[in-house]
Chain A
Amino acid sequence: MKISVYWGCLTLTSEYACELSTRKVLSELGIELEELSEYTCCGHPMKSINLTAALYLAARSMALAEKNKTEILISPCSKCYETFKWAEDLLKKDESLKKKIDNILKEENLSYNGEISIIHMIDLLYDYVGVEKLKEKIKFEFEGLKVAAHPGCYAFRIDGKTGLKRISKFDALIEVLGANSIYYAGKLDCCGGNLRPSRPEAALTLAGEKLNSAIEFGAGCLVDFCPHCHEMLDYRQEEASATIGKKLKIPVIYYMQLLGISFGIKPEELGIQLNKSGVEELIKKLNVF
């Protein structure tokens, strides 16, 4: 299966573990990734500055993906996924907007025709690959591991019923690894990632409260998908702790990294060394290798 991949600004410039683990695990599953010829921002930050800019940036990347002649475009970043779906919908509905954007795309010899399907990573793993196929590849199970699942706002607050189903799909994807996706009060809460540009302290408070909730309910680790969430909860875990004045220590790991570990892939190949929140100790505890 060959699909186009859009990495997203954060993954390309600092959240390298996301790219490493996604590349490794998808290749293990026989999914060939085709890059876009250029990478520019998906446009999400521009939604707060200039709507045309946001739309144009999204349409540009989708147009580049269409050049690849693959049916599907994925992004490991939920925010980028949401922006593409938003742009796809708006350009379908508003003819005059589409004309405006088409004119600008023409300047770059690009065209967006609404042909490419944009799929979320959770749907890719659950619907396209399927739990059965994952089971075949799993070598190690994490019995007794209590996982606080963090699907992230942009995974399930869009796409109506289909979006909501992603919460239970994510739980299923965790349970297929033998772990237990526990209930915790903050499960559906926002990590604060989008608030950082305008209100950094409040954003860290949100991240801290999320981590606190997971710890309160006895989670052994927190699993996320989107690099923006991961940056708040893993990379900025110490800052978040300091902001809410509580000692928070909980391993935060990308789902793709956890999946890769269960496949038996070496931690360095999944970027485990890049997690700041003590994931290496977690892996040692799991006695996998």
Chain B
Amino acid sequence: MGGAKRLPRVGVFVCHCGLNIAGVINVEKVVEEAFKMPDVVIAEHYVYMCSEPGQKLIEDAIKKYDLTAVVVAACTPSMHEETFRRVLERSGLSPYVLEFVNLREHCSWVHAHEPEKATEKAIALVRMGVAKARFLKPLEKRKFKVWREALVIGGGISGITASLNLANAGFRVYLVEKSPTIGGHMLMLDKTFPTLDCSACILTPRMVEVSKHPNIELMAYSEVTNVQRVEGGFKVEVLKKPRYVIEDKCTGCGICSQHCPIEVSNEYDANLGSRKAIYIPFPQSIPLKYVIDVDHCIRCGACERVCQAKAIDFEQKPTKIELEVGTIIVSVGFKVFDAKRIIEYGYGSLPDVTTTLELERLLSASGPTCGRVMRLSNGKIPRSIAFIQCVGSRDKRFNEYCCRIGCMVALKQALLLKERLGEETEVYICFNDMRAFGKGYEEFYNRVRDSDIKFVRGIPSEVKAESNGKLSLTVYDQSTERFLELKVDMVVLTVGIEPSDGIESVRNVLPISIGFDGFLSESHPKLKPVETNMRGVFIAGACQGPKDIVDTVSQASAAAMKAAELLSRGEIEVEPTIAVVNEFKCRGCGRCEEVCEYGAIRVEEINGRLVAKVNEALCEGCGACSVKCPTGAVKVQRFKSEQIMSVVSAATYEIG
């Protein structure tokens, strides 16, 4: 593209978008007017410009009319700007001489009831697009290297799956988990629906694989404390918290725990049972290394005295580790709704009112009662149990969304209770809707209905305790139109799912967007479920939204694949629509550096002058620097003064 400066030759292509645009706007008139605009050599319209014949239309026109810039007037650039950029690339033009005009969201969809005015506006929008296209420069994408390592934050089933996928693909993975063991909530479960597989049995082999995999470095009991975006990816600081136990020496024998005098509530048993101040969360913990809970340890030294391997070290300090990774996958999981917030259900004041998570621990062989389900008030076996669904879910007072797993969890637990406690046990499920949507789920629901479990179509309003200790609740059963009173030994609240506290910790170091419900936001709910607003950062699992293990595993593999896309190429292409500094105008005042959120522009000394320099790998092209710059030295490509001013002139064409 050297030689003498050519006059621009602009092609305008107006899409009907089916009836979306053409149903309101007179596309022929738009094309007619386009021909009259300066430097336009060809204007065409077509029913679906993004289709193959539509794209060919543009390619042919570019060749035939020797175009230097293209205006596509169609839907929204977020849908198809990439599509048409590739058309230009194929035809030998720089993809950045494309100007995309939105005639759908900005015109036909919002002015559907005023077709004449809409057509006038469409013509004006195209005029503005042409005005800008005339000043567009043939920019090129830049390539930057990407480090071939990945960081996975969160070691539940989603983090484990993603790590294994990436590791097996040949990439080095750092898996950071804040609790002393990986496994997350899945390790707390007894059985999983709908197959009733033992949860630990299907999970622990994966956990062991993670610990033994040559490509995975497992950092348990650690947290990410800082993340910096740099060329190549991310510089990450990880803080390894002190276990006060030397990991290389600890054999996991457990003698220390037996002698520890301090007992505290065990959060891994949903606070039902207790553990010692020196403990492992579960018998199947990975890494199988003990840890001292420094908030409760009294330094009596009993563990130190009995440890054969001399692994106790009270002087252990936290260690800081620095990593350089190309991509990050965030998989920090969820937490359950705190049922104490619903006072009328009595959770927290009535001991026999429990939650599905607590019941899962009671059912679990490694739980506080070794798998014996008992009433928490007196230790006796319950003869009648009632489930209340949707506690804290589908509720505008708490969380408006559906927790997605509540129905299946209650069905599963109801069936297990019948099996464990005997056929005579009465089990009731009080529900609003029964959502058994997945593969094998409806069949499971059939099986549960066939097991003498009583379904009551109605949600109780309150749970009361009688003076004899039994729990009573009244519920209107819609199916029989009867007002029922249930007097049961135990009430199980099916609690909903909420964003985990881990989301806040991660967002302190990585500003990923969240939605109104507090879960991490994906880039597009249908087509980009694992990407985020941050390039190179992906999300997977319940931190993106409530879901069960099936969907979590799928999403984790999807995130691993997206990460692998970047890692395998070893480089990324960066949009050239980034900031550029005119070094003659720059006086090095530093206001651009203050305002840049990405650390992409720095004032440096070059040849004795202070001048701002853009780090092209980091610049996102937001334009904040160009707004702040007092001399106009910093501008963003494709949004330079002459480009914007020409658009403004075209917009005010009618006014003159």
**Direct A–B contact in the complex, CB atoms closer than 8 angstroms:** yes
Question: Does B462 contact A160, Cβ atoms closer than 8 Å?
Answer: no
Question: Does B343 contact A185, Cβ atoms closer than 8 Å?
Answer: no
Which of A166-221 touch B at CB < 8 Å? Answer: 167, 183, 185-186, 188, 216-217
Question: Does B467 contact A217, Cβ atoms closer than 8 Å?
Answer: yes
Question: Does A216 contact B467, Cβ atoms closer than 8 Å?
Answer: yes
- State in angstroms the CA–CA spacing of A121 and B350 once bound together: 28
Residues of B within 8 A of A185 (CB): 464-467, 472
Question: Does B465 contact A164, Cβ atoms closer than 8 Å?
Answer: no
Is B66 at the interface (CB under 8 A from chain A)? no
Question: Does A160 contact B464, Cβ atoms closer than 8 Å?
Answer: no
Is B344 at the interface (CB under 8 A from chain A)? yes
Contact flags B452-488 to A (C-beta < 8 A → 1, else 0) = 0000000000101111000010000000000000000
Question: Does A188 contact B462, Cβ atoms closer than 8 Å?
Answer: yes
Question: Does A160 contact B397, Cβ atoms closer than 8 Å?
Answer: yes
Residues of B within 8 A of A216 (CB): 467
Given the known interface contacts A160-B397, A183-B349, A185-B472, the answer about A167 and B464 at a Cβ–Cβ threshold of 8 Å is no
Contact flags A216-238 to B (C-beta < 8 A → 1, else 0) = 11000000000000000000000
Which of B46-73 touch A at CB < 8 Å? Answer: none
Residues of B within 8 A of A188 (CB): 343-344, 462
Q: Is the interface of B mostly helix, strand, loop or mixed?
A: loop
Question: Does A164 contact B343, Cβ atoms closer than 8 Å?
Answer: yes
Residues of A within 8 A of B467 (CB): 185, 216-217
- State in angstroms the CA–CA spacing of A169 and B652 once bound together: 64
Residue of B nearest to A167 (CB): B343
A188 to chain B, nearest CB (A): 6
- State in angstroms the CA–CA spacing of A164 and B397 once bound together: 12
- State in angstroms the CA–CA spacing of A216 and B397 once bound together: 33
- State in angstroms the CA–CA spacing of A160 and B466 once bound together: 27
Residues of A within 8 A of B472 (CB): 185
A150 to chain B, nearest CB (A): 15
Residue of A nearest to B465 (CB): A185
A70 to chain B, nearest CB (A): 33
Residue of B nearest to A183 (CB): B349
- State in angstroms the CA–CA spacing of A216 and B467 once bound together: 7
B610 to chain A, nearest CB (A): 54
Residues of B within 8 A of A164 (CB): 343
- State in angstroms the CA–CA spacing of A185 and B344 once bound together: 10
A134 to chain B, nearest CB (A): 24
- State in angstroms the CA–CA spacing of A176 and B618 once bound together: 60
B360 to chain A, nearest CB (A): 27
Identify which of A164, A185, A186 gathers the most chain B CB atoms within 10 Å of its CB: A185
B158 to chain A, nearest CB (A): 33
- State in angstroms the CA–CA spacing of A186 and B464 once bound together: 8
Residue of A nearest to B462 (CB): A188
Given the known interface contacts A160-B397, A188-B344, the answer about A183 and B462 at a Cβ–Cβ threshold of 8 Å is no
A185 to chain B, nearest CB (A): 4
Residues of B within 8 A of A160 (CB): 397
Residue of B nearest to A187 (CB): B464
B76 to chain A, nearest CB (A): 36
Which of A103-125 touch B at CB < 8 Å? Answer: none
- State in angstroms the CA–CA spacing of A72 and B5 once bound together: 77
- State in angstroms the CA–CA spacing of A183 and B395 once bound together: 27
Residue of A nearest to B467 (CB): A216
Residue of A nearest to B342 (CB): A164
- State in angstroms the CA–CA spacing of A223 and B350 once bound together: 22
Which of B359-408 touch A at CB < 8 Å? Answer: 397
Residues of A within 8 A of B462 (CB): 188
B388 to chain A, nearest CB (A): 16
Residue of B nearest to A156 (CB): B343
Which of A85-141 touch B at CB < 8 Å? Answer: none
Residue of A nearest to B472 (CB): A185
Residue of B nearest to A188 (CB): B344
Question: Does B343 contact A183, Cβ atoms closer than 8 Å?
Answer: no
Residues of A within 8 A of B349 (CB): 183
Residues of A within 8 A of B464 (CB): 185-186
Which of B330-365 touch A at CB < 8 Å? Answer: 343-344, 349-350
Residue of B nearest to A165 (CB): B343
- State in angstroms the CA–CA spacing of A188 and B463 once bound together: 11
B412 to chain A, nearest CB (A): 31
Identify which of B462, B467, B472 gathers the most chain A CB atoms within 10 Å of its CB: B467
Residues of B within 8 A of A167 (CB): 343
Residue of B nearest to A217 (CB): B467
Residues of A within 8 A of B343 (CB): 164, 167, 188
Residues of A within 8 A of B344 (CB): 188
- State in angstroms the CA–CA spacing of A214 and B467 once bound together: 10
- State in angstroms the CA–CA spacing of A185 and B465 once bound together: 6
Given the known interface contacts A164-B343, A167-B343, A188-B344, the answer about A183 and B465 at a Cβ–Cβ threshold of 8 Å is yes
A160 to chain B, nearest CB (A): 7
B464 to chain A, nearest CB (A): 4
- State in angstroms the CA–CA spacing of A164 and B340 once bound together: 12
- State in angstroms the CA–CA spacing of A217 and B467 once bound together: 6
A184 to chain B, nearest CB (A): 8
Which of A144-159 touch B at CB < 8 Å? Answer: none
B408 to chain A, nearest CB (A): 30
Residues of B within 8 A of A186 (CB): 464
Residue of A nearest to B344 (CB): A188
Contact flags B586-610 to A (C-beta < 8 A → 1, else 0) = 0000000000000000000000000
- State in angstroms the CA–CA spacing of A224 and B560 once bound together: 61
- State in angstroms the CA–CA spacing of A170 and B416 once bound together: 41
Residue of A nearest to B349 (CB): A183
Residue of B nearest to A168 (CB): B343
Residue of B nearest to A218 (CB): B467
- State in angstroms the CA–CA spacing of A167 and B467 once bound together: 21
A39 to chain B, nearest CB (A): 35
A166 to chain B, nearest CB (A): 11
- State in angstroms the CA–CA spacing of A167 and B346 once bound together: 13
A258 to chain B, nearest CB (A): 23
Residues of A within 8 A of B350 (CB): 183
Residue of B nearest to A186 (CB): B464
- State in angstroms the CA–CA spacing of A164 and B466 once bound together: 23
- State in angstroms the CA–CA spacing of A123 and B257 once bound together: 48
**With contacts A183-B350, A185-B464, A188-B462 known, what are 14 further pairs, Cβ within 8 A?**
A160-B397, A164-B343, A167-B343, A183-B349, A183-B465, A185-B465, A185-B466, A185-B467, A185-B472, A186-B464, A188-B343, A188-B344, A216-B467, A217-B467
Residues of B participating in the A interface, judged by any CB pair closer than 8 Å:
343-344, 349-350, 397, 462, 464-467, 472
The 3 A-B pairs with the shortest beta carbon distances in the complex, nearest first, are A185-B464, A216-B467, A217-B467
Can you list 17 residue pairs at the A/B interface with Cβ under 8 Å? A160-B397, A164-B343, A167-B343, A183-B349, A183-B350, A183-B465, A185-B464, A185-B465, A185-B466, A185-B467, A185-B472, A186-B464, A188-B343, A188-B344, A188-B462, A216-B467, A217-B467
Residues of A participating in the B interface, judged by any CB pair closer than 8 Å:
160, 164, 167, 183, 185-186, 188, 216-217
